[in-house]
Structure 1
């Protein structure tokens, strides 16, 4: 997890995406979101968390103008998005839907990744080169001749990710990228998100997997009742019991273990790596190998 944000979890650079939504109401009268100000900055991973019905998917779909606010404004790379230039938002903000099948339209994986490039009139040789590079970035080159219908859920997510990545967006948005995946497939997708982040593309994702959010996010935005109630670092969010209770969330497992072990709260580990380092540090400071912060006696 990188250190690219200020102490309040907000990157100081000019936003790539800036959304102000006073309200968004669905046709049946349901208010999906209200009083939201949300920005995506260069070179960051933002995790959007909250209970079911909190407004996460509604917010994400506003970021590339799939949905538009009843009142408010969306700006993408400095341009105000209107009905006339929604294509700009969709080019700069790539969206990977939770149901990967809704984005897979071609008979082979390579054809599917090429699809968007052909729509933009990219010459065939350049399109094929970029498609293969995108598949390589998500470590899915071995899938290029496969029929998408027969791929696993995790493989389909990677193909959807490559199909967005190939268009060279400034931001990639993923709606519940770990939903329905086993732990190994979740780790695979999380690793590819880290790789995309290392390429300089900002990432916004919604997830119920707080362990993974803690491991890969620079900033965590918490939603409840259709609004953003916090935007801060993982350490600030995941050790705030009142905030998590308000959003119907439980702390990541690392936070629970750290507290059960009696570790000092100002250390605030949120990842397994941070927790192990803290435990090793405590063990090194004791004769018997017990953790210094726990106050417990070493046992045989």
Structure 2
């Protein structure tokens, strides 16, 4: 039942790379992981047990002895002394509270030591403050040992195994993830301002520096608020606010009975306040298609994605997913069939480790932990990230984050995957790797929809094209639309680069190569025709274009 909603091709693709699991060597490699999890759980239980025991200690000497033993054991385990001391600095606020306030709380019937501002410090109060401080020191040492000796993903696994509520772990992980992310954003903003003359040296800043620093904090708050909205959408898209929504859903695949259309949009209009973002859109997407949404910024691509995923509802018209009308009452159900990979992977990766993030969606489907881990393994292997499952997202490159975001969607086993600007900010190798991954996903039977500005990628990859501008659908059809000069000019797009040289060649203006191989073949054919047919006649064409512009 776990695979309901995916066709057999998709299951074969995700599981084909796992065939080696049956080999004898795999059993040996999986055993150390189980042993590591078992050791981590035992270590966690031991630390929790010692923490509970410390609460019953009442004598300072016993607590001091315990702290010494813990410190010696940590050093013996090879933990760096400097890191231990840094962690101990965290107890300074508690130490100040214990020293300043606790000694004055046993004035009645206690042995007076001294008076301060009319308050009496007693011997019993002082003893109690020392005991409290030593307990905090012991707790700090134990927690430091746990954090420094245990990988974070193993620790989270063990916390989940001993029954800590999943929602609490997700909240803690989300807080840690985005506190660090905001820190990175703040550092980037300060670095950019310093490159433009902002001075932060020394203890005393100028009035203008304080004013500018305050403005930066305000901008950081606005950016954090905007990011929180995108994070909410990402969490919702993966079932984050509908835990346990898994249920039986019809399996409709290519070649089976049922509607052949994966998505149908009929007369859809959407507006933000008084601004119409989409205006009467109507189109359909067949199952198994490779579709690109083309258009300039503000064309309505992101809004359309939110409608297709059920995060927003149209003011007019309807969206149908596999023949079923999308509405608020069934959005969670249909969202299992449509996965969305957003443009910024930092908005979509909101767990402390790669493994935990990919597991987020399957857990929200209400699956048991064994099924969750199977899906995580399959998804990470499908995108080539198995070796990094225990890594923190902070340690990944941008391209690796993009792959983890895709794995998080694949783990939900959708039938349609929508990607928003997947090629943005990637280096050439990462772009090639991602395009190869998209081809593999499509070959498995997935319907893919990509929102992009990249005309070259669209011409090479897509089978179907939707061109938007100002919330309107300018055209829909095959990839041949991307060679229509008038349409591209109207949509503020340009011809694919491979086509441009052929527009300057005699008898080759209608040549539309979509790949480098096709372009090379076309050039070879022109050469074989002979110099008379293949020679350049660019001057006449360029003169005509010049006169047209001047006219």
TM-score for the superposition, normalised by structure 2: 0.49
Q: Is the 8 A contact 1:48 1:206 kept in 2?
A: yes
Selected match of 2:515 from 268, 271, 275: 271
Cα distance in structure 1, aligned partners of 2:347 and 2:536:
54
**1:132 and 1:283, CA in 2 relative to 1: closer, same or farther beyond 3 A?**
farther
**1:263 and 1:90, CA in 2 relative to 1: closer, same or farther beyond 3 A?**
farther
Question: 2:454 — aligned with what?
Answer: 209
Question: 1:185 — aligned with what?
Answer: 430
Question: 2:289 — aligned with what?
Answer: 44
Selected match of 1:101 from 336, 340, 346: 346
Correspondence 1:246 to 2:465: no
Cα distance in structure 2, aligned partners of 1:139 and 1:240:
37
RMSD of aligned Cα (Å): 1.9
SS of the residue 1:35 aligns to: strand
Instruction: Spell out the pairing of 1:15-30 with structure 2 (5 A cutoff).
Output: 15-27=261-273, 29-30=274-275
SS of the residue 2:356 aligns to: helix
Residue 220 of structure 1 deviates from its aligned partner by 1.3
SS of the residue 1:254 aligns to: coil
* Moved beyond 6 Å, runs of 4+: none
Cα distance in structure 1, aligned partners of 2:385 and 2:501:
35
Deviations 1:240-298 (A, max 9, x none): 11101110111110111222344524432122221112122333454xxx6x853359x
Instruction: Judge which range, 128-137 or 202-211, deviates more.
Output: 128-137
Instruction: Spell out the pairing of 1:249-260 with structure 2 (5 A cutoff).
Output: 249-260=493-504
Instruction: Spell out the pairing of 1:2-17 with structure 2 (5 A cutoff).
Output: 14-17=260-263
Between Structure 1 and Structure 2, which shows a larger proportion of helix residues?
2
Instruction: Spell out the pairing of 1:116-131 with structure 2 (5 A cutoff).
Output: 116-131=361-376
Cα distance in structure 2, aligned partners of 1:99 and 1:35:
28
Task: Structure 2 unaligned segments of length 5 or more: list them.
Answer: 1-258, 538-551
Question: 2:534 — aligned with what?
Answer: 294
Instruction: Judge which range, 127-136 or 216-225, deviates more.
Output: 127-136
Selected match of 1:89 from 329, 334, 342: 334
Q: Is the 8 A contact 2:499 2:512 kept in 1?
A: yes
Residue 37 of structure 1 deviates from its aligned partner by 1.0
TM-score for the superposition, normalised by structure 1: 0.87
Question: 1:169 — aligned with what?
Answer: 414
Residue 114 of structure 1 deviates from its aligned partner by 1.0
Deviations 1:21-72 (A, max 9, x none): 4310013x22111110132211111011111111111112111111211011
Q: Is the 8 A contact 1:62 1:68 kept in 2?
A: yes
Deviations 1:92-150 (A, max 9, x none): 11011111111112221111111111111222222212211112222222221221122
Q: Which has the higher contact order (CA 8 A, sep 6+)?
A: 1
**1:232 and 1:112, CA in 2 relative to 1: closer, same or farther beyond 3 A?**
same
Larger radius of gyration: 2
Q: Is the 8 A contact 1:238 1:255 kept in 2?
A: no
Question: 2:324 — aligned with what?
Answer: 79
Residue 188 of structure 1 deviates from its aligned partner by 1.8
